[in-house]
Amino acid sequence: MAQLQNWLKQESFPAQFKKIWLAVLAEASDIRRSSGIEQKATNIAQVVLSDLQQKLAYKQPKEILMVGTGKIAELFTQQKPDDVILHFAARKRFLKAKQLAQQSGGQAIFFEAIGERIEQIDAVVSATASPHYVIKKSTVLPAIRQRQNPLYMYDLAVPRDIEPDLAAVPTVVLRDLDSLSELLMGYNQALQPYCQSVETLIETSLSRIEGAINVYNHYSRHAAVTTCAQAG
């Protein structure tokens, strides 16, 4: 929904579809609220943070290095528990990294300094839009070898951010979206009763939207015929 809302603001968005999509998004927001699923839904940040809370229960505070400053990084900032400190690494959006770090009690570091921080933190969460690996084994392995405790790494990017070969390092626990799917399925099962309510609301909503589209098409055709007649 957030992506569609951002798209609607772009000049390239087709004007003839704008009213329809505004209606769709308004209906979708109403459905999320009235069904209760908005309060129960779990995002990827909550899943990862919950997983880390179990694995690092002994550690106070828990320090996580976030690689990327996009939507997922913002979710972690919003969802983080009090005993978690978030640091942010960025290359192009360093100002945004500083803002997120200030909100999260951590520090902003330049992307090139990731290897230096690996030794000091408990986990890495990477979620960038890069088309290639941003965390390579050759870059971080020297620092990992200095660690005594496991390093938990979460690759939330598509395509992947973290070189998969790091999973073979004994002190690394690497998880990507595929390996997190079991956790996500568990959360999704708890949403099934809400999904049934949502399906009913969607059917009703579709009828309203289809009616609005038919009215819109009728007036569009009428306006086109009138314009042609006047031009003739």
Residue-level pLDDT at 17: 82
> Mean pLDDT over all residues of the chain?
85
Write the CB contacts of 118 (distance below 8 Å, at least 6 apart in sequence). 65, 124, 140, 143, 144, 147, 151
The domain segmentation of the chain, as residue ranges, is 44-179, 182-216
Q: Is 162 in contact with 138 (CB distance < 8 Å)?
A: no
- pLDDT tens-place string over residues 133-150: 999 999 899 999 988 899
Question: Which residue reads 């798209």 in tokens?
Answer: 7
Say which CATH superfamily domain 44-179 falls into.
NAD(P)-binding Rossmann-like Domain (3.40.50.720)
Residue-level pLDDT at 227: 46
What percent of the chain has a predicted confidence (pLDDT) above 90? 42
Residue 50 burial (10 A CB sphere; 0-12, 13-18, 19+): middle
Q: Is 73 in contact with 88 (CB distance < 8 Å)?
A: yes
Residue 39 burial (10 A CB sphere; 0-12, 13-18, 19+): exposed
Which residue has better confidence, 194 or 228?
194
Residue-level pLDDT at 123: 96
- pLDDT tens-place string over residues 34-45: 877 766 656 889
Q: Global pTM?
A: 0.69
pLDDT band at 225 (very low <50, low <70, confident <90, very high): very low
- pLDDT tens-place string over residues 51-84: 899 999 889 999 999 999 999 999 999 999 999 9
What's the length of the chain? 232
